[in-house]
Amino acid sequence: MDISSAQKLAGENKLEKGFNTTDVALKFGLLTAEVSEAFTAWRKGQADLGEELADVFLYLTAVAEMNGLDLESEIARKIEKNERRTYERNEHGAQIRTSGD
């Protein structure tokens, strides 16, 4: 399944089940909670890490859908942008961008 199809299906499911489809701030808060759950699953070595990451993806696509964004196109554009960037480590070991927009 491609990202755009998943985004549309997830949005339709939320509408059909009566979940929030208008309160963007709430959806961002719930996305943050899902990221925390995924981190906990990873940190504790729990078997449901994949499911938690899927939840993160679904909440992320919901935010995109609520804002009229095609997440698949945005991801492709961002990957292309990142490919043009270069980085070097500074004296503290942090990656610092040296070129690209």
The pair phi, psi for residue 98, each rounded to 5°, is -110, -15
Tokens of 74: 């945005």
Q: Where are the domains of the chain?
A: 3-99
- Would the pLDDT of 17 be above 90? yes
- Per-residue pLDDT at 56: 98
Q: Are 69 and 77 in contact (CB under 8 A)?
A: no
Q: In this predicted model, what pLDDT tens digit does every residue of 22-35 receive, in sequence order?
A: 999 999 999 999 99
CATH code of the domain made up of 3-99: 1.10.287.1080
- Residues 80 and 19: their CA atoms lie apart, in Å, by 34
Tokens of 87: 């980085």
Tokens of 21: 């489809």
